[in-house]
Amino acid sequence: MNEINKKTTSRREFLQSTTRLAAASAVMAQVAPRIYAASDNTIKVAFVGCGGRGTGAAANAMSVKKCPIKLVAMADVFEDRLKSSYEKLKKIFPDQVDVPEDRKYLGFDAYQKAMDCLNPGDIVILTTPPAFRWVHFNYAIKKGLHVFMEKPVTVDGPTSRRMFKLAQESVAKNLKVGVGLNSRHSRALQELAQRIHGGEIGDLILQRGYRMCGPIGFFSSPPKPPDISDLLYQVRRFHSFIWASGGCFSDFYIHIIDHQSWMKNDWPIKAQALGGRHYKDSPDGIPYVDQNFDTYSVEYTFPDGSKFFMDGRCMKGCQESFCSFAHGSKGMAIVSKSGDCGYPSSTYKGQTPDRANRIWTSKIEPQELDPYQNEWNDLIDAILNDKPYNEAERGVRASLVTSMGRMAAHTGQEITYEQILNSNHEMAPGLDKLTLDSPAPLQPDSNGRYPIPQPGIVIDREY
């Protein structure tokens, strides 16, 4: 199961080895042929995972104005999802959506058939639940495809190790890889990062992130109805199941964890955390069977000892807060005013965001306001002009430190980066061999309840 390294790799060793490999990859990249396929200048796109965000990403892809882009194949395990996604896209982009019935693929192997419709240098969009990312990314690299993949890209240690390796392979093949951590493509946060790294608010000594809102998406799930298998129920309602999505924690909180690490210009090395399940019945008294806690509070520690607190709560009726702050030795910054990376970002003298103390506030032109579109414009630009562009390794790192905080809450233990990286708990092994008849990675008990985290009782894995 743990095919890469059983011995403990220290963080320093790990960084050294990845840096070496990255350097080697960079040299190879120079000699690798520029991969940009179609002779008629059209980039073909295949789309794996046709949910709401995936459909949004496909729309962003077809909205790039730099060259002709066509959607030629789609894949999902749910026919209704694929159908509805196709209809929505066809309506908005009638000339760019060219997906006849025989290029709509269903099932757990549909991703291969969709990618087989492309040539090297075309693009595949990977927007299934993150559990499948390594399976799909591996195939995309084999086919020589550029990739856009949604976040998170891993949910546990073993798949992160696998994805680090795949990230290096994709760099070596000069593939351009975008990861949907769209904070990185917010023009406001880009300028803020420059200002913070340039010392505008001094050394960062404390960072705070909040996503405390009402429940959203598939945060909670009622018992499985009889007309769907456990496997498909868990894939469909992926936010409810840790193996599929990393749970609400990974899916909801990764953006702020990622952009705070960026502001710090480093990654957290350990985490301790609180969390619990408080309301776990529906308003009608039906017990929810998902694995999520409804509150989390994580203290992340950076290598220099400074702390970053990430608070998450999914409860209706409580005071809501969805924003992030960075405090430095000379001042503070509002990183995201509202949302994953909401405008405007701003910096202040002192530790109170008073208007009188304001040093800078971001101003963005409307055409660059949408980070979801920016990340696609940037990716296509890199492909057309063969610029270095590969966000995979960073995406894995962000996913892994996010999982580190989640594991700390779920086990009630301090979790270090090495521990989560080298953890042997692969939550859903064998996903590359999955069929519709495979047993679900999470098995219910006789009452239809799935195992949940038990801090202090189950401490070496999350459930």
* Residue carrying the six token digits 């509070």: 297
Q: Which is nearer to other proteins, 174 or 182 (CB)?
A: 182
Residue (116 or 354) nearer to other proteins, CB: 354
Minimum Å gap between C-beta 342 and other proteins is 4
HSE-CB at 36 with a 13 A cutoff on CA atoms is 17
The token pair that represents 54 in the structure block: 């995936």
Q: Which is nearer to other proteins, 40 or 80 (CB)?
A: 80
Return the number of the residue (342 or 451) whose C-beta is nearest other proteins.
Answer: 342
Q: What share of the chain is helix, strand, coil (3-state, %, to 5)?
A: 40, 20, 40
Q: Closest approach of Cβ 53 to other proteins, in Å?
A: 5
Taking the least distance from each CB to other proteins, the nearer of 73 and 341 is: 341
Count of C-beta atoms within a 10 Å radius of residue 133 = 31
Residues found near other proteins in the complex (CB under 8 A): 51-53, 55-59, 84-85, 88-89, 92, 182, 212-216, 221-225, 227-228, 233, 236-237, 282, 284, 316-317, 320-323, 337-340, 342-344, 355, 358, 361, 363, 366-367, 369-370, 372-373
Residue 34 or 363: which CB sits closer to other proteins? 363
Considering beta carbons, is residue 104 or 270 the nearer one to other proteins? 104
Which C-beta is closer to other proteins: that of 159 or that of 182? 182
CA distance 221 to 211: 20
Q: What is the CA radius of gyration of the chain?
A: 22
Q: Indicate the residue type of 298.
A: V
**H-helix or E-strand spanning residue 320:** none
The CB-of-305 to other proteins minimum distance in angstroms stands at 29
Q: How far is the CB of 57 from other proteins (least distance, A)?
A: 8
**Ramachandran bin of 166, using left for φ above 0, alpha for ψ from -120 to 50, beta for the remaining angles:** alpha
Least separation in angstroms between residue 249's CB and other proteins is 17
Half-sphere exposure of 75 (CA within 13 A, CB side): 22
Distance CA 446, CA 16 (A): 49
Q: Give the number of other Cβ atoms within 10 Å of residue 384's Cβ.
A: 15
Whichever of 77 and 171 has its CB closer to other proteins, that residue is: 77
Separation of alpha carbons 460 and 456, rounded Å: 10
Nearest approach in angstroms of CB 215 to other proteins is 6
Shortest Å distance, C-beta 446 to other proteins: 20
Distance from chain centroid for Cα 313? 19
- How near is the Cβ of 372 to other proteins at its closest, in Å? 5
- Taking alpha carbons only, the member of 181, 168, 110, 104 closest to residue 141 is 168
Q: What is the DSSP string of 255-267?
A: HHHHHHHHHHTS-
Provide the minimum distance between the beta carbon of 60 and other proteins in the complex, in angstroms, as a whole number. Answer: 8
Q: Where are the beta strands (DSSP E) in 51-182?
A: 69-76, 104-106, 123-126, 146-149, 177-179
Report the C-alpha gap between 319 and 336 in whole angstroms.
Answer: 18
311 forms beta bridges with 210, 297
